[in-house]
Amino acid sequence: MKLSHLIVISLIFLCTSIAWWFLGGVIVHRTNHVSYQTGDSVSGRWGPPLLQKHPVARYTSSSGSKVVLQPAKSDVKVKLAYQPVKMGLLWHRTYGVQFEGGYTFTNNTAITQTLAIDFDLPAGNTMLDKINFTLGEGEKARRSVAAPEQGVITDSVQLAPGESIPVTVSYECRGMDEWRYAFADTSRIRDFTLTMSTDFTDVNFPVSSPTDRKEADKGMQLVWKYEDAISAPGIAMEMPRELNAGPVAAQIAFYAPLSLLLFFGVIIITAISRGVSLHPVNYFFLAAGFFAFPLLFSYMLDVVPVHLSFVIAAACSLALVCGYIRAAAGHFLFGVAVVSQTAYMVLFSYSFFFKGLTGLTLTLGGIATLGVLMALTAKIDWSQKLGVVSPRLA
């Protein structure tokens, strides 16, 4: 192969890479534009990430100071129903929550106290339905009709020394991305239990792991239990990660030059070793066939599911590239091209569907390529194929 041919092939590779990077930028712009347009719309309908704070009671001591009282016992039940919504090339991780908290407040002082019980509602633009705030139980139960002020429902009750009162709070609402339960920073939490039921098994805990877990019908049952804890960590659940087609398509386009570089390297070395003559024009069409894959994949995503789009785009590119190699260079190079393109383009691109696998896939592919090429070319006289680099000594 002439040096001028290698220079032209390098220019073809560079121009194709620039085109891929431009395509990746276009995909990122489309994705961000749709996210900007639909994000507020989805948040407005489903609500933001939800935060539920642990309730407290307040009373005024004999000295006139305000004293904050934590529940003596807490039994919280949460049901999360994952209901993702797709907008354009992005999935929004929306969910519904059914909350029911049973709390017991006790007057541990020696005199009768009037307790003001505060329950913070989830903040943000979210609709609460079927809300219930009940003090006491049985015939003495009283459903509070107090209106929230600045997102807090407050009702008062008078307790004799040592007397306790159960408080029940329940509601239903919807949110996005994650659900959290938080305690005051330095509070002492006693006899606390939170039982969470999900309809999904892909669970992720950003704050603290549950003390017990088991599989339930189509989901998980998770339990957090604190017997007597100071500065207890909060509780959180992230919704499952969806495969967002836009970011995946952009990554495939940005990293496509690596696939083409490895493919060109294999084809060039194999062609030289087998004595097959390929003109730079042939490499131009091969690069165009490679470029067809991310281009077709990115624009099919609007109308076709992501995995089906990937299969169709990959099949079209394989047919273009490998069919052209077979017509231009024969059966042997055709077999090399099928294996190489499947490994470097299809498998490498598919690794972007799985978090953390891309680097490992590229490393293993590069090592395997090096081993195969070393085995195929070990006995080749490169001086004969490419010419003597320097004169031999007599």
Let me know the angle formed at the C-alpha of 278 by 273 and 284, rounded to the nearest 5 degrees: 130
Select the more confidently predicted residue: 217 or 104: 104
- Name the phi and psi angles at 94, rounded to 5: -95, 155
Tens digits of residue pLDDT in 190-212: 999 999 999 998 888 888 889 89
Ranges of CATH 2.60.40.3680 domains, the chain: 48-238
Q: Could you confirm whether domain 48-238 is CATH 2.60.40.3680?
A: yes
Select the more confidently predicted residue: 252 or 64: 252
Rounded Cα gap, residues 235 and 332, in angstroms: 60
Instruction: Write down the pTM of the prediction.
Output: 0.69
Place of tokens 């909060």: 234
- Name the phi and psi angles at 135, rounded to 5: -110, 130
Rounded Cα gap, residues 344 and 349, in angstroms: 8
Banded model confidence at residue 105, pLDDT cuts 50, 70, 90: very high
Tens digits of residue pLDDT in 152-195: 888 888 989 989 999 999 999 999 889 999 988 767 889 999 99
Tens digits of residue pLDDT in 51-65: 999 999 998 887 778
Quick check: 339 pLDDT over 80? yes
Quick check: 327 pLDDT over 50? yes
Banded model confidence at residue 146, pLDDT cuts 50, 70, 90: confident
Looking at residue 194, what is its pLDDT?
95
State the average pLDDT for the chain: 84
Tens digits of residue pLDDT in 309-325: 999 999 999 999 999 99
Quick check: 144 pLDDT over 60? yes
Looking at residue 231, what is its pLDDT?
81
